[in-house]
Amino acid sequence: MARHVLVAIDESDPAAKALEYALEEHSDATITLLHVLKPDHPYAPSRANAGIEEYEEYVREFHEGGRNGVLRRGLELAADDPDVETALRIGNAATKTVAFADEHGVDLIVIGSHGRTSMSRVLLGSVAETIVRRAPVPVTIVR
């Protein structure tokens, strides 16, 4: 039985289903919701065009927005579970998820998948597939 479950969360329906699964199947575990924003997100200032103060302001706003946006919705879904924590990172979603699991003693990673076909996965890449290949712990993919 997992003691610490990491749920990678974004604004997608598969991520919400992954959280629901984790809450149902691992109700005795501590659950951490992890939201990762890519640094090249359209709303992020580019490092080439932004000073360090502008980028630090963006990071601060991201953390506040994450707590009030994506993670707030996740916490609302998990309102009945007092053992739900949140974490925010900026970077590559797969890399940051695997690193977080390794650094924080996570026993299981639960992620949502859009269920794309093999061709679209080749063209777009697959965060879920990368996490499965690199994770130091078991991974459950929810569709």
Residue closest to 73 by CA, chosen among 115, 59, 135, 65: 65
Q: What pLDDT, on a 0 to 100 scale, did the predictor assign at position 75?
A: 80
Cα–Cα distance measured from residue 115 to residue 102, given in angstroms and rounded to the nearest whole number: 26
Output 59 or 6, whichever has higher pLDDT: 6
Q: If you average pLDDT over residues 44-50, what whole number do you get?
A: 55
Over range 36-47, report the average pLDDT.
63
* Class of residue 94 by CB neighbours under 10 A (exposed 0-12, middle 13-18, buried 19+): buried
Helix axes 127-134, 93-103, angle to 10 degrees: 30
Per-residue confidence (pLDDT) for residue 49, from 0 to 100: 59
Mean pLDDT to the nearest integer, 21-25: 95
Question: What are the domain boundaries of the chain?
Answer: 4-142
Tell me which CATH homologous superfamily contains domain 4-142.
Answer: HUPs (3.40.50.620)
Q: What is the pTM of this model?
A: 0.80
